[in-house]
């Protein structure tokens, strides 16, 4: 499936759109971490929770659960909010 990577994580992938596989959001993140070591930790904390500044959209719909089921032709967009002051 196509996965859109936010700008702050491009240092891992080197490109905005990458391919990944998995039958849930969590499985796709695991696959991304196998391909791009360390990227998952930037999105998921030590308690296996989505970090506050990360959002996932599947086919345009925001999802909050890593167990959200995915089909091979789905599109996953990862958005990272900006913070600071």
* Residues counted in the chain: 85
pLDDT at 49: 95
Residues 20/36, Cβ–Cβ less than 8 Å:
no
Domains of the chain, CATH where assigned:
2-80 (3.10.20.30)
How does pLDDT run along the chain (85 residues), one tens digit per residue?
Answer: 999 999 999 999 999 999 999 999 999 999 999 999 999 999 999 999 999 999 999 999 999 999 999 999 999 999 998 665 5
Residues 29/12, Cβ–Cβ less than 8 Å:
no
| Bridge partner list, 63 | 56
Residues 30/37, Cβ–Cβ less than 8 Å:
no
């Amino acid at each position: 499936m196509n996965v859109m990577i936010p700008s702050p994580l491009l240092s891992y992938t080197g490109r905005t759109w990458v391919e990944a596989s998995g039958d849930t959001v969590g499985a796709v993140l695991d696959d991304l971490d196998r391909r791009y070591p360390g990227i998952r930790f930037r999105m998921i904390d030590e308690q296996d929770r989505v970090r506050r500044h990360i959002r996932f959209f599947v086919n345009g719909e925001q999802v909050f659960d890593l167990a959200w089921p995915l089909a091979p032709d789905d599109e996953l967009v990862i958005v990272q909010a900006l913070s600071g002051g």
